[in-house]
Chain A
Amino acid sequence: MGDISIAMLDHHRKTSGSEMSHQRTAIGRFERFWNELLLRRRTQKAVQWWCDRQTLNATEQAESIRDGLLQEIFSLRRSMELQLALQPQNSLENSHRGLPQLEQIYNQLKNLAEQIAPLDLDTNFLFVIKQTLSKWSDERTDLKVSFDFPQDWNYPPSQNIHLILQFLMELLAIAVPEESEEVLINLRSNTHQRIEVTVIYSDLGLHKKNEELVDIHYLGQAFEFLVPGTFRQRAWDCQITYSLSW
């Protein structure tokens, strides 16, 4: 009887052990599946967020053309038509009057083309990024901006170099609100190419708010998926350093 009981207990233990092992395996598989599903969903949301931002940027650019450039061209044309209608004998003088406005329109269109797709980005990354960031810095007169760039940049251009620049500009748009004090932008390279943006905020409240921004979270995830690259964020005192590597 005792032997049977021991044998039964032993069998029960082995059976239970085997069942538990199956259960653990099934739970493990389910957890992995669930985590993959969550990761896919998070990535999907981040990519959707990115697409929405680009659509918004494109809409704003289109509106600035309609409300700005097109109106100027309209005014110039009307002015020339009126001069032709009312003072045809002064046509040479009238043409000269329109030239400065034409030059202005030309420059605006040139800047717009640069904004949409910077020239020579893939052959002269360092020069283009310095120019783009200088322009951004000129527009942010409320802010102290400093750059730390190497003298040369001899790396083969990334396939997604334009995308990387877009991510950098989006990061600056989100992470550097009006109440920021200072921004330091570094370009580094060792095993990877890396851009670091350090933002110094004027108070802890703003710093905290920016540390938790959902937009930064989506930007980071979209960057890692689309580039693909690595996005990191380190916060201390009133500063946050954002790092984009590829």
Chain B
Amino acid sequence: MGQETVESAQLIILVVDDHEAVLGGTVSALKTQYPEAIIHTATTAQDAQAQVDRQIPNVALLDLSIPEAPSEQANTSAGLQLLRTLMQSYQTLNIVVQSAHVKSLIRLKPTINAHEGGFTVADKSASMQEMLTKVDWALQGLMFTPKEMRAGLEVKPEWLEVLNFAFQEGLQDRAIAQAMNLSERTVRNYWTKVQDALGVYPDEGINMRIQTEIRAREEGLID
């Protein structure tokens, strides 16, 4: 898969997991793709929050089942609360959820939908290459949620507006932003949301915008 990966120089990556062996494996895997990156680790929700408050990473990889504090038991509530807090406090933070509990993310659907940074999900059953692809997508600001999280096609009115401006009126992102009185960044974020809803992701030889138009017409979102 893949477009060119994001440059690794000066990248700061935070990996959050309470299993040492998992942390070690993930850090080593990340170093194969981002050899120059500075990789920090955290084993509790409190430590992860403190690290992000100290220095916002380019991307944070989070397990959902972690303890709130040292010597506490791991639980998904602590992981979900950390994720919620990070998304609300750092709206442009790029996040990868790497977990065996990805189904729990359904509880945060509205927060995930409103998030402006990249957001991807890598189940722990995924291969190393799939995980690295998801990290790269998150760094590009893209969105990927598992199919189970998407019950039917849910497209917000503002995303539809972007599609109409782009494919009915032929506007580029800057012009769309002006027409909708939004920032370009927000328009790009809406693109990633609607592409995730339509199941359009980067792949060899794929033109994302054209593929989005094809899928949008198939779903009847545009004429």
* Cβ contact within 8 Å between A75 and B100: no
B16 to chain A, nearest CB (A): 14
* Cβ contact within 8 Å between B100 and A81: no
Whether A78 touches B26, Cβ cut-off 8 Å, given contacts A67-B74, A70-B124, A85-B128, is yes
Task: Identify A78's interface contact among B25, B65, B74, B101, CB under 8 A.
Answer: B25
Q: Please name all residues of chain B whose beta carbon is closer than 8 Å to the beta carbon of A67 when the two chains form the complex.
A: 65, 74, 100
* Cβ contact within 8 Å between A81 and B21: no
* Cβ contact within 8 Å between B32 and A75: no
Name the interface size band of chain B. 10 to 19
Please count how many residues in chain A sit with their CB below 8 Å of the partner chain's CB atoms: 14
A3 to chain B, nearest CB (A): 89
A85 and B24 CA atoms in complex are apart in Å by: 16
A63 to chain B, nearest CB (A): 8
B61 to chain A, nearest CB (A): 13
Q: Please name all residues of chain A whose beta carbon is closer than 8 Å to the beta carbon of B127 when the two chains form the complex.
A: 77, 81
CB-nearest residue of chain A to B64: A66
Tell me whether B177 is interfacial, beta carbon within 8 Å.
no
Q: Please name all residues of chain B whose beta carbon is closer than 8 Å to the beta carbon of A75 when the two chains form the complex.
A: 19, 21-22, 24-25
Whether A78 touches B28, Cβ cut-off 8 Å, given contacts A66-B65, A71-B100, is yes
Whether A72 touches B29, Cβ cut-off 8 Å, given contacts A78-B128, A85-B128, is no
A74 and B128 CA atoms in complex are apart in Å by: 10
- Chain B, 18-46, CB within 8 A of any chain A CB: 19, 21-22, 24-26, 28-29, 32
Tell me whether A61 is interfacial, beta carbon within 8 Å.
no
B135 to chain A, nearest CB (A): 14
A77 and B125 CA atoms in complex are apart in Å by: 9
Task: Identify A82's interface contact among B21, B22, B128, CB under 8 A.
Answer: B128
* Cβ contact within 8 Å between A74 and B124: yes
Tell me whether A86 is interfacial, beta carbon within 8 Å.
yes
Q: Please name all residues of chain B whose beta carbon is closer than 8 Å to the beta carbon of A70 when the two chains form the complex.
A: 100, 124
Residue-wise, chain A 42-84 has the 8 Å CB interface mask toward B (1 for contact) of 0000000000000000000000001100111011011101100
Q: Please name all residues of chain B whose beta carbon is closer than 8 Å to the beta carbon of A86 when the two chains form the complex.
A: 32
A4 and B26 CA atoms in complex are apart in Å by: 108
A75 and B24 CA atoms in complex are apart in Å by: 8
* Cβ contact within 8 Å between A79 and B124: no
Nearest first, the 9 closest Cβ-Cβ pairs linking A and B are: A78-B25, A75-B21, A81-B128, A71-B19, A74-B124, A70-B100, A66-B100, A75-B25, A82-B28
List B residues at the A interface (Cβ < 8 Å): 19, 21-22, 24-26, 28-29, 32, 65, 74, 100-101, 124, 127-128
List A residues at the B interface (Cβ < 8 Å): 66-67, 70-72, 74-75, 77-79, 81-82, 85-86
Kindly list 17 other residue pairs between chains A and B, CB separation below 8 angstroms, not including A75-B22, A78-B22, A78-B128: A66-B100, A67-B74, A67-B100, A70-B124, A71-B21, A71-B100, A72-B21, A74-B124, A75-B19, A75-B25, A77-B127, A78-B29, A81-B127, A81-B128, A82-B28, A82-B128, A85-B32
CB pairs A–B below 8 angstroms (5 shown): A75-B22, A77-B127, A78-B25, A78-B26, A81-B29
